[in-house]
Amino acid sequence: MSQSLDAKLLLERFDISPEDLALLKRCGETFSLSDKIQSVVDEFFEWLGEQPEFSIFFNSQETVERVKRLQKVYWEEFFSGVVDQNYIDHRVRIGEIHAQRDVPNLTYFAAMAHFNKLYSDAIISCEFSHDDTSRAFTVFDKLRLLDMLVTSDQIAQFARRRVIESGKAMLEMSTPVTSIWDGILLLPLVGIVDSQRTQDIMEKSLSRIAETRAHMFVMDISGVVTVDTAVANNFIRITQATRLMGCDCIISGISPSVARTLVELGVNVGEVRTTATLRDALQLALASIESTERGGRRRAQGDALPR
């Protein structure tokens, strides 16, 4: 659990004292005499039924009844005067459910605003002294804001996790090192090649070379969005790494504009073999494999001869 969702800390930050909670408990006790919380929840659902999102989230009467029961429990806890770690954890869970069900912020905040209106009337009906009523409004607002913070924090965390997971999935999908022929690996690159992706490409490519004992590694960059000095250096690093594994690398898909950029940038491609098209690269790779095999066959035949 993050430090910001520690019950003690939250109460301190929202300036909610034990006296404030005792006042909320008094409200709760008064509400229970006339089953006020149930009537507030019923009124809320009447309002909710008129909202456009209602049919999306409530597709049966059974769901409505279940959520009504949960709402009643929620507000009973709210007016119990106990805000401990269990209370916060329950709010965290509610936030997670909101996030999983993709409840729009507009719907959630509008609903909480409507509860504000309903409970303002309910607090007035308690007929406390003027000071206590005024304080009860303030405390209700503070704890409601605390609840909303916890819920929206969970929604934001869920969204962040989803973005990170999608990013990882994209990275996984973006490095399809495929064995296309005996001894030839192909990696078509699409999109942006930054240093993190370079690292990922390098790790995957080197493991695939070790697994398949490939002699040739073709990296097609025709789908790479921009090639600047940093990207070119990343490509050169990958080719150096494959070479250290005993595997030759061909970079295909060098467009005239990329070639000009590389020359203008003064990038030294060194011994890197490059081709304009993937077709040329594959031809080159196949010829290289063929010559290696020929050499191997010649040696095998030579070994078979009597000496």
CB of 105 to another protein, least distance (A): 43
CB of 227 to another protein, least distance (A): 19
Q: Which strands, in side-by-side order, build the sheet including 178-181?
A: 178-181, 184-191, 216-224, 248-252, 273-274
Helix, strand, coil shares of the chain, percent, nearest 5, are 70, 10, 20
- Determine the interface stretch with another protein among 46-54, 101-109, 207-215, 273-281 (rule: CB under 8 A): 207-215
- Determine the interface stretch with another protein among 60-68, 157-165, 206-214, 224-232 (rule: CB under 8 A): 206-214
- Distance, first Cα to last Cα, the chain: 77
User: Which of 203, 225, 226, 268 contacts another protein by CB under 8 A?
Assistant: 203
Cα–Cα distance measured from residue 157 to residue 167, given in angstroms and rounded to the nearest whole number: 15
Cα–Cα distance measured from residue 172 to residue 243, given in angstroms and rounded to the nearest whole number: 23
Cα–Cα distance measured from residue 145 to residue 166, given in angstroms and rounded to the nearest whole number: 31
User: Which of 9, 169, 244, 263 contacts another protein by CB under 8 A?
Assistant: 244
Cα–Cα distance measured from residue 181 to residue 285, given in angstroms and rounded to the nearest whole number: 10
- Determine the interface stretch with another protein among 61-69, 145-153, 157-165, 204-212 (rule: CB under 8 A): 204-212
Size of the site for another protein (CB under 8 A): 24
Residues 106-165 that bind another protein (CB under 8 A): none
User: Which of 5, 209, 249, 267 contacts another protein by CB under 8 A?
Assistant: 209
C-beta of 121 vs 194, nearer to another protein: 194
Cα–Cα distance measured from residue 223 to residue 203, given in angstroms and rounded to the nearest whole number: 20
User: Which of 237, 265, 276, 286 contacts another protein by CB under 8 A?
Assistant: 237
Q: Judge contact between 251 and 272, C-beta under 8 A.
A: yes
* Residue 260 interacts with another protein (CB under 8 A): yes or no: no
* Residue 268 interacts with another protein (CB under 8 A): yes or no: no
Sequence-separated (6 or more) residues with CB below 8 Å from residue 44 = 71, 111, 114, 115, 118
Neighbours of 31 (CB within 10 A): 22
Residues 7-66 that bind another protein (CB under 8 A): none
- Determine the interface stretch with another protein among 88-96, 197-205, 257-265, 272-280 (rule: CB under 8 A): 197-205
The binding site for another protein (CB under 8 A) comprises 199, 202-203, 206-207, 209-210, 213, 237-238, 240-241, 243-247, 271, 291-292, 295-296, 298-299
